[in-house]
Amino acid sequence: MTGIQYLTDENGHKTAAVIDLKTHKALWEDIQDVLVSKARKPEKSVALDRTGSTTLDAQSM
C-alpha cells in the first residue's frame, strides 16, 4: 500500500507504521475518532433528555 511504511524490530515483526497524512487523511481521521472514543469510554454517560437544549431554533435566528 503506498503512503504507509512499517517499522520492524530485529525479528521482522511490525512495531509501528508511518502514514502519509496527505495520502491517507481520511484514514487518519478514522484512527483519531477511534482513539477519542476509547479515551471517553470510562466517562459516565448522560441521557440526552438530561443534557438540556443548547441548539438554536431556526426561527430564533
Q: For 1-48, how does the pLDDT look when each residue is reduced to its tens digit (9 = 90+)?
A: 799 999 999 999 999 999 999 999 999 999 999 999 999 999 998 888
Tell me what pLDDT residue 11 has: 98
Assess if residue 25 is contained within a domain: yes
Position 53 pLDDT exceeds 70: no
Which is it for the CA torsion 53, 54, 55, 57, positive or negative?
positive
The C-alpha cell at 20 is 502519509
pTM above 0.75, yes or no: no
**Count of domains forming the chain:** 1
* Structural domain harbouring 34: 1-40
